[in-house]
Each structure stands twice: as structure tokens, then as C-alpha cells.
Chains A and B, each alone.
Chain A
Amino acid sequence: MYTRLEGECLMIEMKGDIDHHHASRIREEVKLMLSFHPVREVVMDFKDAGFMDSSAIGLVLGRYIDANEAGAGLKLINTGERVKKMLKLGGIYKLKGIVIE
């Protein structure tokens, strides 16, 4: 499991390898959770992120759209140096309303 509910917040644990192979599983899980539970905030936690490639950027962009559609905010937390670098290159910092910690 990559996701869990904390009150009105959907937590997504970005753990392990975030590549093409795993990104689709995370995406499906989030879509399913959002279809059942109304939330105010979607949080992607990079604390235990291992390897990352451009699939992770696609995953963030997709969740940004999901959160917008659900009327929720998107927050990225525990982003380390490498994660920040990739997010920056991928244009994630330019997204309106996104919070990156």
C-alpha cells in the first residue's frame, strides 16, 4: 500500500523505486482512494523515496490534476536534495498553489 487516509488528508508514501514500473501502481491506488473519499489535501511524502526518474515527475503532475479536480490542495513533503533538483527541472515548482517542503 502506498496510500492512507489521515482525517481529510490523503497521504501518499513515495517509497522505494519511483519508476515507470511502480508509478502506475501508485497512480491506480490514488485514483481509487479519491473516488471513495473526499479529501481536502493530498500529500506526497518523499521520506523513503529511493530511486527516481521522470516517471515520478509524471506522477506528481498527474496528482496535481487529481487534487485540483477533487478541490484539494497538493503538498510535497520531505523532499531531499536530489528530489528537489528533479522537481525543479521538471517544472513542478512553477505549478500554481503547490506546496513543496
Chain B
Amino acid sequence: MIRAQALSKTFGDKTAVDAIDFTVKPGRVTGFLGPNGAGKSTTMRMILGLDAPTSGTVTVNGHRHLTSPAPLRSIGALIDAHAFHPGRSARDHLRWLAASNGIPTTRVGEVLELVGLESVAGQRAGRYSLGMGQRLGIAAALIGDPPVVVLDEPVNGLDPEGIRWVRALARRLAEEGRTVFVSSHLMSEMALTADHLIVIGRGQILADTSTEDFIATHAVSYVRVKSPARAEIGALLTRAGHEVEVVDNALHVQGIDPAAIGDLVHRHGLAVHELTLVRSSLEDAFMTLTADSVEYVSKTREEVAA
């Protein structure tokens, strides 16, 4: 379990993390979601005692990591994709990590096998591809067989096979009863991996909810109706108590399915040219939620012109 209380971090006059409270529970994958610069990595560094909180506290299974009696057996983390010396082999990297926490050397072979790097373990890590480096980072996170695992953007730079592998690994770790905290800026990725979501924007928690609830609440759908008799149909639907919006030359109707609209229109002898169920994606939902908190906005051409 990870527990943050009024956790804040400022760099100069910039507030990266703003008095956040959250709990990451064991036995499930918790996604930590937010746009670039939201404060995900800073929060994770504070969990590991790498950055000192400006105020507030964060504990791992009730202890501050800085005073942990057995650090790697309590929490394992992937923080920097390439946090190893390029001249050192993967095996030596894992060997010093194991030694630092009195972990038997046999564990090195186990995690190498787990991440599929046994065949290249003797090579200098600087020769590794991005994906191999990421796997080495994950091996390092798991070396102490820790009850809490923190992964900062673990799928960055991975191919589809690698992404599926990380997803399955995270799920398995959670099923084993561990606390799994995974950051990402991709909503779609998190929807597939996480049971629970903590959404952060500009250092503040925007949502802390189960993935299911998040989807139900935020992924809205509507029916697009195009018709020469747009005005009449709009009036009919409004009278029937549905929410109708005119967008360009179409109607956007919420709270009713396309079949019901078709029947209604038919009963009144009107013509329709299009009847489409439009589901906004989770990515859209995430964008809507974080729209006000996105720090580095890229403008479209129209917005720039305006």
C-alpha cells in the first residue's frame, strides 16, 4: 500500500505536486494518469525518497522509504528508462542491486529469465535497444520480490509485443496480491491495464475512481441524426424529453438509441439521411477531464489564426 497525505513538491516557484492525497491499494493495478508535466514522475520520486517532499508525507506499507530496513524487498521501481551504466552488463547491474539488499545472487538469474534477457545478460547494457533497457529496468524493480511495484511509463518505447507483456506482468503482480502503481499519459493503455485510476493534472488529483466507473461517467455517447426535416425531428425529440444539440447540419441526441429515433421518425413519416451512434473514446474523456490542466498545449492552425 502506498499512501500520500497532503503531498506537495515545489521547484522554485513552480508547484509540481500540489497537496495531493491518495491511497494505492494492494491486489489491483492502479493507473497514474496525467498529461506531460502533470507531476507523475515527481510523485513517484517522492515515494522512493529520491525527491524530498516540500510538505506532506508519503509512505510505503506504513513506512517512509528513507528509513526502510529492507528497501528493495519493500518496493521495486522503474523510474528512469536507462538508469544503468552503459558499460556494465545487465547481469552485473542486477548483481550489485541484489548485493545491496542482501538478496541471494540466484535471484539475478530468475529475474533475467522473467524479462527474457538471459541470452544477452553478459553484454554491455549500453548496447541494448530501448525495449531491452526497459526490460532491464523492470528486472531491477522485481529483484527484491517486493510487495509494492512502481513503474513510471513502463511501456515507453516498447513494441506491441512488449506492451502486451508489460500489461500481463502488471496484472499478474496484482493478482499475486502486490500493490502495483503504473504511470502513463495514454488513457487507452491504462483502460486495458488498470483496475483503478488516479488522474492527475497540474499537480492536482482530478479523479480517483475505478476504471469501470471512469468509463461509465466520462465516456459519453450520442446519436448523430441528419435529415432534411431537421427542425421537426429536433422538436419531436425535445418534446419526448431528450437532450438535443444542433451541430453544423446535424442533430446530436443523448439518452436514446438509434432504433428508437428511427421508429419515432418513421411514425411521423419523416425522412432521415443518417442515424449514427457516436461513442466518444476514453482518450476524449481523458482530454476533456484534463483540458484545463494541460500545461503544454499544442494549438491547431485555426486556434493560432484566431
A in complex with B: no
